[in-house]
Amino acid sequence: MATKAAFKRLTREYQNIQKDPTPFIVTHPSETNILEWHYILTGPPGTPYENGQYWGTLIFPPEYPFAPPAIRMHTPSGRFQPSTRLCLSISDFHPKSFNPAWEVSTILIGLLSFMTSEEMTTGSVSATESERRVLAARSRWWNSTGGGSHVSATAGVTRTSKGINNVKAGDGGLKFRTEWPELDQENWEWMKEHRIDTATGQILPDPNAPTKCSPETSALRRRPVGSGSAPGLGAVMDGQVAREAGWAGRNKVWIGVALFFGYALISRLLNDVRA
């Protein structure tokens, strides 16, 4: 339970955020717990995260602002381990370095800045730019479907939105839908418009569509396979089946050798006839 000071401070900060929003960042406290905040970072242009929708949580201690929050990002990004506490100077890993003057907006601006850098810390991962672009393109699908788990409901079992400290693929998108109902609706409309397979996150083929498509749609055509540096991602492949080479292509060396000896034999016979 929040102290009176924490409640007053967080309430004031939320009012300020509503009046003066920060670019690429939206956030709000949970309706049931003012110490539990949810944020969405939109990937900035010119980065591998461009247009990605990255959802995470800030869990504030009751004594805030004299102690920092735990910071997690639930959406797979290729930058952070999903739902893992991040070791940053603005997080609960370093309470002594936290400045009480820092606010929620300050914390999220710092998180976005760290995300777009390549500095490593506890909770961060390495991935290629192409891997991160694929995850950015799949982020809306992941958030609203729980990584596709909305199609695998167990009969007689009701999903719960509890356990926000460990929101990974498996809740069918329930927690995201609870905290971001308008964004969730937009995501489903977006998936329908772009023919996204809600079970896999991959784009469904449209034989009537033009061959060219946007970079974001192109990324959705790629699929993660094998094991790679980004958790759950692996190597990025086109998904197109390579055509088998013909008989001549597979045996072009031997054909060349046969032609060479054939030419030599014919030349010799012609010389013998002339002699």
Catalytic site positions: 87
Rg over CA atoms, the chain: 27
